[in-house]
Structure 1
Amino acid sequence: MPRPPAPYSSARRAGDLLFVSGQLGFRPDGTLAGDLGAQTRQALANLDAVLGEHGLGRDDVVKCQVFLASIADWAAMNAVYQEHFAKPYPARSAFGVQLHPGALVEIEAVASYRVEASS
Structure 2
Amino acid sequence: MSTRDVVFPAGRQALYEKNRYSPAIRSNGFLFVSGQVGSRPDGSPEPEPTAQVRRAFENLNAVLEAAGCTFKDVVDVTVFMVDPETHFEQLWSEGLKHWGEAPYPTLTGIGVTWLYGFQFEIKVIAKLPETSAA
Taking structure 1 as the reference length, the TM-score comes to 0.87
- Return the alpha-carbon distance in structure 1 between the equivalents of residues 83 and 58 of structure 2: 21
Taking the aligned partners of 2:73 and 2:116, their CA distance within structure 1 comes to 31
The Cα shift of 1:102 comes to 2.1
Alignment of 1:1-119 (within 5 A): 1-2=11-12, 3-4=15-16, 5-72=18-85, 73-88=87-102, 89-114=104-129
Which of structure 1's runs of 4+ aligned residues deviate more than 4 A? none
Distance in structure 2 (CA, Å) of the matches to 1:8 and 1:98: 22
Q: CA deviation at 1:98?
A: 3.0
Separation in structure 1 between the aligned mates of residue 43 and residue 21 of structure 2, nearest angstrom: 17
Q: Deviations over 1:24-74 (max 9, x none)?
A: 110113221122210101000000000111111111111110000111211
Q: List gaps (5 residues or longer) in structure 2.
A: 1-10
Q: Distance in 1 between matches of 2:38 and 2:84?
A: 17
Residues in 1 aligned to 2:113 and 2:27: alpha-carbon distance in whole angstroms? 29
Root-mean-square deviation over aligned CA pairs: 1.6
Q: Which amino acid aligns with 1:17?
A: F
Higher-Rg structure is: 2
Structure 2-normalised TM-score? 0.78
How many residues were matched structurally? 115
Offset of 1:114 from its aligned partner?
Answer: 4.7
Distance 1:7 1:98 in 2: 23
Q: In the aligned structure 2, how far is the partner of 1:22 from the partner of 1:42? A: 13
Q: Kindly indicate whether the alpha-carbon contact (under 8 Å) linking 1:25 and 1:103 is maintained by their aligned counterparts in 2.
A: yes
- Residue 101 of structure 1: how far off its partner (Å): 3.2
